[in-house]
Amino acid sequence: MVSEEQSFQLGLGNSFPELTVQSSQGELTLPDAYDGEWFILFSHPGDFTPVCTTEFVAFQQRMDEFEELGVNLVGLSVDRVHSHIKWIEWIEDELDVSIEFPIIADESGRVASKLGMVHPEMGSSTVRTVYVVDPEGTVRQLLQYPMEIGRNIDEILRSVRALQTSDEHDVAVPGDWPDNELFGDQVLSKPPSDVETAQARLDSADGDCHDWWFCLQDAP
């Protein structure tokens, strides 16, 4: 585990660093607060901005789907907790949506800088970053979006489903899964690790192998 005092550039396969933060729902320690569970940490440039508001509403509206996958949501920006609270109130009053997940108040920018969410070329605000973290506290996916473009919640949900399918069944997933134009919701067998296994795949009448390295199987 990486302590708060250490400088750390977070990437795929890294352990999420240990951080104690203030949020709209009180003090939160990551990743311990979600030990044994998936969580998604996503940053936004600022409260009371149009694109960010639509994103937070979209995340909340799909929260049931995230919960079905066992995924917790956590937001973050370099705003004060009072700003988060007022923004949440505005969203509920004006858009009739109640934001139920915590939003980290990173007023100093310490957490955002540590996690690579601030790009100097883009100003001092947090860029639209998404970290997907698995139950072991490992970063499994990293997405970043420009200021002008809101995130696609369908793709984030698809990514989590794909990661969970891959983990549970030891498979890979094709592009555009589960709606691949050629292969539908089929998944890909992991490549063989030796010549004998490769030859066995070619000789087998089972499955759907186009070659020893390209074998499909029905979705689990």
Model confidence over 83-132: pLDDT tens digits? 999 999 999 999 999 999 999 998 877 888 788 776 555 544 666 889 99
d(CA 127, CA 137): 22
Number of Cβ within a 10 Å radius of residue 24: 19
Radius of gyration (C-alpha) of the chain in whole angstroms? 20
Q: What is the pLDDT of residue 10?
A: 81
| Omega before 31 within 30 of 0, i.e. cis | yes
Categorize the per-residue pLDDT at 174 as very low, low, confident or very high, splitting at 50, 70 and 90.
very high
Catalytic site positions: 52
| Omega before 178 within 30 of 0, i.e. cis | yes
- Report yes or no: 75 and 43 within 8 Å, Cβ to Cβ: yes
| From 59-68, 76-85, 95-104, 154-163, the region with the lowest mean pLDDT | 76-85
Average pLDDT value for residue range 1-29: 77
In terms of DSSP bridges, do strands 71-77 and 38-43 run parallel, antiparallel, or are they unpaired? Answer: parallel
d(CA 89, CA 97): 9
Q: What is the pLDDT of residue 193?
A: 85
List the domains of the chain with CATH numbers: 19-152 (3.40.30.10), 170-217 (3.30.1020.10)
pTM of the model: 0.88
